[in-house]
Amino acid sequence: AKGKREHPRPRAIHGPNYHPPYADIVIDDKSNVVLHEVSADEPRHPASLTKIMTLYLLFEELEAGRLKLDAPLPVSTRASLQNPTKLGLKPNQTINVEDAIKGLVTKSANDAAVVVAEAMAGSEEEFAARMTAKARALGMAGTTYVNASGLPAEAQITTARDQALLGRAIQHRFPVYYQYFATPSFKYKGAEMRNHNNLLGNVKGVDGIKTGYTEASGYNLTSSVRREERHIVAVVLGGTSNGARDARMRQLIEEHIMRAATLRTAPLIAEATGMESDGASQDSAPVAARAVAPAPASASPAVAMGDSEASAASGKVEPVPVPRPRVQTAKLAAQTTKHAASSKAPPRTRLTAKASAPIALPSAYTLTSSQTRHIERRLTPSAP
């Protein structure tokens, strides 16, 4: 007789007559209140939303000074052979870090994603392991990465809730580098690459962040919207077309943006410390105070924090707990970690917007003024 499987087999999420299952979520960033959700904890393929985590790890390297924006990254044969969309990089050439970033956020270049992965970790496989470890540290219990690009892979899964968490975390941690997600177009070797995010410049307050598509995932989109000191992050997974996905996102934005809070009553997303690479429990893990930072004073108004947040940023605060997303463990255990498979996920906490005062924010990890000016000069379009 066959022995009992240690872990359940993951539920198939595509098949012969597959139609991508739909999921979405809208979260008020300042209060952490879920304003709307549909199947937000069901496993889905992220497609190129994967590149948000690729950029998260790249921004860490830049912030720590281990990489610079003008640093050349070598292109391997493997990177050059990635399926489209791509920049058309050739073996043995190089691409600088900033061009790789812009290629990822505009063209969603799969070859650039592999270049970044290999430069930072030696191999895409090792980089994907780091991506999954980072997901666990952020509280993304339903997400597993096996590549840096989001190209089709059965084991590469996520949830709408996890993607909303990541979409918020990358803004909280890297308020200046995040501005790259608002890049409308990018010229590389004479070719102009338009951003695939059609909501940029067409929907009031949208400042990013990323689209994605594979046949198995359907049309995916994470959006960040700021209006009148309100801030929401919304995710749509499994759209049937670009147009249908964008129309649904517009609808979600208009229905929920004015329900969002104007004062911050919830902590910024932070990483747990001491996380094991196989995904340790989030039950009582402390948070590194260095993991989040307010926007530098010279950051673009479209991306910088609201006045109430900025005024609180100078106060010293104690580390705050990691948010605990609700995950349907039975359906996600096989795709996450051995630890997650044998323990119950903690219940999701919903914070209300009734707190009497905005929370003070940590001030570590602010970029120097010269770093900030350098980035913003590169992000500001030249005068005609």
- On the question of pLDDT at 275 being above 90, the answer is no
Catalytic residue among 31, 39, 48, 217: 48
Query: Residue 58: what residue type?
Result: L
Fold type of domain 23-50+126-372: Beta-lactamase (3.40.710)
What pLDDT does 274 receive?
Answer: 60
Q: Can you tell me the mean pLDDT for 169-197? A: 96
pLDDT bracket for residue 96 (50, 70, 90) = very high
Task: Tell me the C-alpha distance between 166 and 135, whole Å.
Answer: 8
pLDDT bracket for residue 375 (50, 70, 90) = low
Global confidence as pTM: 0.72
Digit-coded pLDDT (tens) for 298-315: 333 333 333 333 333 333
- On the question of pLDDT at 185 being above 90, the answer is yes
- On the question of pLDDT at 332 being above 60, the answer is no
Q: What average pLDDT is seen over the chain?
A: 78
Concerning whether 48 is annotated as a catalytic residue, the answer is yes
Task: Tell me the C-alpha distance between 219 and 214, whole Å.
Answer: 7
pLDDT bracket for residue 368 (50, 70, 90) = low
Digit-coded pLDDT (tens) for 99-147: 999 999 999 999 999 999 999 999 999 999 999 999 999 999 999 999 9
Helix, strand or coil, per DSSP, at residue 213: strand
What pLDDT does 370 receive?
Answer: 61
Q: Can you tell me the mean pLDDT for 83-90? A: 97
What pLDDT does 21 receive?
Answer: 86
Q: Are 69 and 367 in contact (CB under 8 A)?
A: no
What pLDDT does 348 receive?
Answer: 40
Token duo for residue 317? 């605060």
Catalytic residue among 108, 149, 217, 281: 108
Task: Tell me the C-alpha distance between 156 and 143, whole Å.
Answer: 8
Question: How is the chain split into domains, by residue range?
Answer: 23-50+126-372
Concerning whether 51 is annotated as a catalytic residue, the answer is yes
Task: Tell me the C-alpha distance between 140 and 157, whole Å.
Answer: 11
What pLDDT does 354 receive?
Answer: 35
Concerning whether 108 is annotated as a catalytic residue, the answer is yes
Catalytic residue among 51, 102, 107, 210: 51
Beta-carbon count within 10 A of 113 CB: 29
Digit-coded pLDDT (tens) for 48-60: 999 999 999 999 9
User: In percent, how much of the chain has pLDDT > 70?
Assistant: 66
